[in-house]
Amino acid sequence: MDEQTRLEEARKRAVQLREFYQHLAVYVVVNAVLLAINLVTSPGRYWFFWPLFGWGIGVAFHALSVFGGLWGKAWEKRKIKELMDRDGQG
């Protein structure tokens, strides 16, 4: 892999990480504000859990897409090697 390709991949990765951390920061700030609003306006009824949970699913999927999760690059490399080895034996 040449230096230009490595640089482009590093830039793409940096953008992915920045966008995820921005998403996470907005999630935390907005949900803290929703919690405060909930506690001030209706302290006996906790509705802030719903947006926290729903948006949290989105943040979790975003994290999986950025950090790989169960099927990240390491899994992909292992699977490619496994398939190539298997196909080479047949």
List the structure tokens of 61: 């999927």
Q: d(Cα 8, Cα 88) in Å, to the nearest integer?
A: 33
Under 8 Å between Cβ of 48 and 34: yes
How far lies 60's CA from each of 21, 24, 71, 86, in Å? Answer: 12, 10, 14, 34
pTM: 0.75
For the chain, the structural domain boundaries read 3-89
- pLDDT tens digit sequence for 22-57: 999 999 999 999 999 999 999 999 999 999 999 999
For residue range 79-88, list pLDDT tens digits in order.
888 888 887 7
Q: Which two tokens stand for residue 41?
A: 């306006």
